[in-house]
A and B are shown apart, each in its own frame.
Chain A
Amino acid sequence: MTGGKKRNQILRFHLPSGILVLYTLLAGLPLLLLSVQAFTAVAGGETEWRTLVFPQGRRLALLLQTLGFAFSVAIPGTLIGFAGAATLRFTRSRRIRHLSAFLIPSAAIPPHIHAMAWSVLVFWINGLLKRSGLPPLQDQGFIISVWVQMMALLPFAFGIMLLTLSGISNDLLEASRVTAPDRRTILRILFPIALPGLSTSFSFLFLVSLLDYSVPSLFQLNLYTLGIFSEYSIRYDASHAFLMSVPLLFLSLPAAWLLQRSLRRLPLIPSGSGREARWPLRLPFWMHGLSCLSVLLLLLQLLVPLAVLAVQSLPALSSMDWLTDSLPDMGISLLIGVGTAFLTLPFAHAAALSIDSRRHNRHAWWWLVMLPLALPAPLIGIALIHTWNAGAFSWTSLYNTLFMPILACTLRFLPFAVFLLLSFLKRVDRNLIGAALILQKNSLHTLFRIFLPMLSGAYLGAGLLVAVLAIGELGATLLLTPPGAGTLTLKIYNYLHYGSSEAVSGLCLLLYLIALGIGLFLQKTATSNNRRPA
């Protein structure tokens, strides 16, 4: 083998594999240690393990309620995401299309803030209804929990569906429209092609709702995850909590499997053929209604938190102490966000390449990347403490540095970055790569002059997305931020407890505006990426 070929082999196969082995150590080892701890406890005489792993009575009822909640959020959320994304994708109105720039900022708003905003709105509405002698809206329980959770996750559903629909060729649709009415085109062509996207969106929303109790607990809906927390608070035994999480893993792992399977089947095509439709789709009445409703819901999702935050933060403008006090926290948050983006991108790049390849181990990489998505954030935090503070990696002295929250966020949000990169990777014109491979000096030449430039928009998007998500993270960050280094999200939750709703609103508004700036920057970059040079 010549030196050039060897270098190519190293760059194309060995380097991504090396990066992924490193990721396996970082992500897999903590989780493996936690599993070993649990099995050791069982072997050492933990007698309760059967009742923990196979819940009965109250725990079973709680698990079923959690399952019902996750389905209730995921099904309508996905349908609304589909209808809304179809409108954003096929509309000729630029104003409506610009709504997509707001998806990333609204995804960055912590779910607690959505809950706070909707709670305030329902309270106002109930006041009006009461004065009019009408029955009030339900302000606690199942329905409002489902509603708020769905609203908090709607940007993700829209984003996933928009990405899916933007990969469907207009030529394909227009060919079908010549021979059949638009209704049939949508039902017989668009819908089946978008099925993997629907399945991706459904499994993602289902997974998040299954594992996150924060919004339901605010509206008095008990979920199994809160039960784990409650029982954990009785004995503070990580292996007990892990065993109690097993029934949830039985539900979340199939959802993660569905997610990875759907992601692989997304209808993504080379970007060149995704040009604008020649004429707008004519929808039947009911479909038009659904699509209008979806866009309305997206607007509500964007405007309700923004309006409530703006109104509530007005009194805070008289004194800006809350802002100056929060500058160090803002700095730490930015460091964590940027650090997460930098750490995530090489892993995401290697994972996306491996998954996109035809090698046999691609399924294993899928699972490895998706697994942290099926685990509650505090469990990831505790597993990392056990590994990095006194475990296998304590010699690195990286514990008690910002590397820890960055690592936790990387593990939590890597699937999002991989998803985004993979979707763009599938659109890369293979002929360009083929031509480059023939004429390249070496693999680095192709990587830096052809491959990365073509994917730079995707890297930018993936980096910004994980940065925004990392800035809003709480569950693992709380356990891993080094002493003296609070984040903006922790500050928001602290103010929330103190009752300083003006400062909370002000900080959330700030967070929203930062994320909005990032979203607009991303959209502008994406637009300029599509513009040809003179």
Chain B
Amino acid sequence: MSRLAWRSNILFNRFLLFFLSMLLLATVLSGCGTGKSVVVYTAVDQVYSEQLFTQFTQETGIRVLPVFDVEAAKTTGLINRIIAEKENPQADVFWSNEFIQTILLQEKGVLAPYVSASAKDIPQAFKEEKGYWTGFGGRARVLIINRDKLSRDKYPTSLLNLLDSGVSPDQIGIALPMFGTTATHAAALYAQWGPEAALSWHGTLKEKGVRVLDGNSVVRDLVASGELIMGLTDTDDAYGAVNNGAPVDVVYLDQEEGGMGTLINPNTAALIAGAPHPETARLFIDWLLKPSTEAALLKVGFIDLPCRDVGVQSLNLGDTVVKGMSVNLAAIYANLEVSRTDMTELFMK
């Protein structure tokens, strides 16, 4: 046998064998399924939402085909995708862990109205008046503090005295305020304090050298590891560190008498206009907005603040009452563009 023919036999066989076995393995591992389904695009953490999808499938027999977002893409990957797919929608339901992006989708004409019967006991403040989206169970904006690094008597109580605790500003972290819930928080402060005061407060943070990080989870991780002493994040991130045994405390700011309260960010569910599976989409939204589903999210600790009485206490909060900011969701959204532009000007240098 010639050298070339020998190479041909050996290498091509190996080449084909390797790729075909990979293909077979991949097909077996990935699995397949048929039957009724609903396509859900969700920004909710996979760890939490997957449990609910499994439960929904067990109860209804409808298979959930999820698409998840990741913080590394600034949790905007799905929004980009839904807008780009507008002419030929592929998603049935958008389930978000906040409300700003959902209102943005409504403005882009991507959503369809649907008033779910399960939402009748949800307060009107959490619902879009024409039914384009419905809010439920919220997460709060909190300060996470490494208790090994700071004594309790020095814990800040308000955003306004965040820098007065004696902690060096470079030991305090926030996420980039142009993205995610930190952007929502900035817009909420614009609505609550007015643009000048809110911009000035952010300017002070920047000027004093507060660390501006890639995301809320990075803030949490650095505080949990002791690289930072404290930082602003969301309750699901903060309690994630608590439940992992990190030496951290979670502080709700501005709770004192006359205080403005903290930002409460509800989840939102919305039907996509022209959804390929509208019937199963409505069934899924009905199921998601049921009090029992909100209770399940409370039990796993993804949300802390139900929007109605669901008969279950929060895993993280117990019976503690948290005061939310009085500013309404529409006002926060109205301030988003100007606050994001300001934050980009301020922090993208």
Residues on A facing B (Cβ under 8 Å): 58, 61-62, 112, 123, 139-140, 214, 217-218, 220, 222, 226-227, 229-236, 238, 327-328, 330-335, 337-338, 341-342, 378, 381-382, 385-386, 389-390, 394, 399-400, 448-450, 452-454, 456-457, 459-460, 463, 467, 474-475, 478-479, 481-486, 490-491, 493-501, 521, 525, 528-529, 532-533
A486 to B46, CA, bound (A): 10
Closest Cβ of chain B to A482, distance in Å, is: 8
List the A side residues contacting B66 at CB < 8 Å: 483-484, 486
Closest Cβ of chain B to A227, distance in Å, is: 5
B279 at the interface (CB under 8 A from A): no
B157 at the interface (CB under 8 A from A): no
A332 closest partner in B (C-beta): B30
A394 to B88, CA, bound (A): 9
Known: A233-B178, A500-B47. A486 touches B68 (CB 8 A): yes
Contact B11 A457 (CB under 8 A): yes
B299 at the interface (CB under 8 A from A): no
Known: A62-B348, A497-B71, A499-B237. A528 touches B10 (CB 8 A): yes
- B residues 59-78 touching A (CB-CB < 8 Å): 63-74, 76-77
Picked from B30, B65, B91, B348, the residue with its CB within 8 Å of the CB of A230 is B348
B160 at the interface (CB under 8 A from A): no
Picked from A328, A335, A484, the residue with its CB within 8 Å of the CB of B23 is A335
Contact B14 A389 (CB under 8 A): no
Contact A478 B11 (CB under 8 A): no
Contact A328 B18 (CB under 8 A): no
Closest Cβ of chain B to A91, distance in Å, is: 27
Closest Cβ of chain B to A303, distance in Å, is: 21
B329-349 interface code vs A (CB 8 A; 1 in, 0 out): 000000001001100110111
Known: A62-B348, A390-B87, A454-B4. A229 touches B72 (CB 8 A): no
B183 closest partner in A (C-beta): A233
B156 at the interface (CB under 8 A from A): no
Closest Cβ of chain A to B219, distance in Å, is: 11
- B residues 39-72 touching A (CB-CB < 8 Å): 39-41, 45-47, 63-72
Picked from B72, B214, B240, the residue with its CB within 8 Å of the CB of A499 is B240
Known: A233-B179, A337-B22, A378-B80. A327 touches B340 (CB 8 A): no
Known: A58-B349, A385-B84. A335 touches B46 (CB 8 A): no
Contact B80 A521 (CB under 8 A): no
Contact B23 A456 (CB under 8 A): no
B77 closest partner in A (C-beta): A478
List the B side residues contacting A394 at CB < 8 Å: 88
List the A side residues contacting B348 at CB < 8 Å: 58, 62, 222, 226-227, 230
B23-42 interface code vs A (CB 8 A; 1 in, 0 out): 10111111100000101110
List the B side residues contacting A338 at CB < 8 Å: 19, 22-23, 26
Picked from A227, A331, A453, A475, the residue with its CB within 8 Å of the CB of B26 is A331
List the B side residues contacting A498 at CB < 8 Å: 45-47, 217, 240
Closest Cβ of chain B to A56, distance in Å, is: 13
A236 to B19, CA, bound (A): 40
Contact B7 A494 (CB under 8 A): no
Closest Cβ of chain A to B55, distance in Å, is: 16
Contact A331 B28 (CB under 8 A): yes
Which of B1, B178, B240, B348 has the most CB atoms of chain A within a 10 A radius of its CB? B348
List the A side residues contacting B183 at CB < 8 Å: 233
B130 at the interface (CB under 8 A from A): no
A529 to B88, CA, bound (A): 50
List the B side residues contacting A496 at CB < 8 Å: 71-72, 217
List the B side residues contacting A327 at CB < 8 Å: 29
**What is the predominant secondary structure among interface residues of chain A facing chain B?**
helix
B217 closest partner in A (C-beta): A497
Contact A490 B68 (CB under 8 A): yes
List the A side residues contacting B104 at CB < 8 Å: 236
Which of B1, B14, B37 has the most CB atoms of chain A within a 10 A radius of its CB? B14
Contact A231 B73 (CB under 8 A): no
B83 at the interface (CB under 8 A from A): yes
B4-17 interface code vs A (CB 8 A; 1 in, 0 out): 11111011101100
Contact B345 A389 (CB under 8 A): no
A240 to B232, CA, bound (A): 31
Closest Cβ of chain B to A495, distance in Å, is: 7
B154 at the interface (CB under 8 A from A): no
List the A side residues contacting B152 at CB < 8 Å: none
A454 to B6, CA, bound (A): 11
Known: A331-B25, A335-B30, A386-B84. A453 touches B7 (CB 8 A): yes
B4 closest partner in A (C-beta): A453
Picked from A478, A528, A533, the residue with its CB within 8 Å of the CB of B1 is A533
Q: Tell which of B115-123, B220-228, B253-261 binds the partner.
A: B220-228
A107 to B344, CA, bound (A): 33
List 14 extra interface pairs beyond A233-B76, A328-B31, CB under 8 A.
A232-B76, A328-B30, A332-B30, A334-B22, A338-B19, A338-B26, A390-B87, A449-B5, A478-B69, A491-B46, A494-B45, A495-B47, A499-B221, A499-B237
B218 at the interface (CB under 8 A from A): yes
Closest Cβ of chain A to B38, distance in Å, is: 9
Contact B29 A533 (CB under 8 A): no
A160 to B342, CA, bound (A): 43
Contact A525 B349 (CB under 8 A): no
Picked from B7, B40, B90, B178, the residue with its CB within 8 Å of the CB of A454 is B7
A62 closest partner in B (C-beta): B348
A481 closest partner in B (C-beta): B67
A521 closest partner in B (C-beta): B18
List the A side residues contacting B164 at CB < 8 Å: none
List the A side residues contacting B218 at CB < 8 Å: 218
Picked from A112, A140, A335, A457, the residue with its CB within 8 Å of the CB of B211 is A140
A333 to B26, CA, bound (A): 8
List the B side residues contacting A500 at CB < 8 Å: 47
Contact B27 A494 (CB under 8 A): no
A426 to B89, CA, bound (A): 47
List the A side residues contacting B221 at CB < 8 Å: 499, 501
List the B side residues contacting A529 at CB < 8 Å: 7, 11
A479 closest partner in B (C-beta): B81
List the B side residues contacting A501 at CB < 8 Å: 221
Closest Cβ of chain B to A408, distance in Å, is: 13
Which of A214, A234, A381, A481 has the most CB atoms of chain B within a 10 A radius of its CB? A234
16 contacts across the A-B interface (CB closer than 8 A) = A139-B227, A214-B72, A229-B76, A230-B178, A232-B76, A233-B76, A333-B26, A389-B88, A449-B4, A478-B73, A483-B91, A484-B39, A486-B68, A493-B71, A525-B11, A528-B10
